[in-house]
Amino acid sequence: EDQVTQSPEALRLQEGESSSLNCSYTVSGLRGLFWYRQDPGKGPEFLFTLYSAGEEKEKERLKATLTKKESFLHITAPKPEDSATYLCAVQASQGGSEKLVFGKGTKLTVNP
Amino acid sequence: NAGVTQTPKFRILKIGQSMTLQCTQDMNHNYMYWYRQDPGMGLKLIYYSVGAGITDKGEVPNGYNVSRSTTEDFPLRLELAAPSQTSVYFCASSYRDRGDKYGYTFGSGTRLTVV
């Protein structure tokens, strides 16, 4: 069974204090790993897709990396507007590969 | 380009009542999905569709039904509402490009409370 575990469940940072969020996964062949941002009362907003180990993608203060077992979302010098829940999801390459399996998310709070 | 539109945004149901959550996408995506999200939990797949006329069960399908008569619409039906169905429901659609890569778009959600 495909599984995604995110840690920590919650993270509080001071503005400018860099950190990383972790997403570990077990999947029967990885087709893609997705990162989403979710603000309260809203739907997930797409950030990145990673397809193979060693791949990295960046967007403003965010950088996502991928290994064969986990992905990291690095946040550099965060601002209060980066506060949100960050969701990780995997898409398997076998058996209904259109579907995403989500982790529970990491709730990030950035204090000014 | 509205993306994925869900209606209603909020709804309160009494136990045993029925309702349909509406989902429409204007991106001509073949794939559509219904997820539910409970507090502190990840999104769980209820049903999905790979094209008009084709639907399949996800991880938590009990108590729900779907239909896909057109590419654009994917309604979710609750027949006999139960308190366990109190949740936030998200509809999503996705494309599959020539490189076999997928891109997913989510709606803004329907918050359902069953009392």
Residue B10, by phi and psi: left (phi above 0), alpha (psi -120 to 50) or beta?
A: beta
User: CB-based contact (8 Å) between B47 and chain A?
Assistant: no
Question: Is the distance from CB of A35 to CB of A96 less than 8 angstroms?
Answer: no
Q: Inspect the interface and report whether the beta carbons of B106 and A43 lie closer than 8 Å.
A: yes
Which of B36, B104, B108 has the highest number of chain A CBs within 10 A, making it the mutation to test binding with A?
Answer: B104
How far off is chain B from A11, nearest CA to CA, in Å? 14
The structure tokens listed for B35 are 């997820």
The per-residue pLDDT string of chain B (115 residues; one tens digit each, 9 = 90 and over) reads 689 999 999 999 999 999 999 999 999 999 999 999 998 888 999 999 999 999 999 999 999 999 999 999 999 999 899 999 999 999 999 998 888 788 999 999 999 999 9
For chains A and B, CB pairs below 8 A equal 59
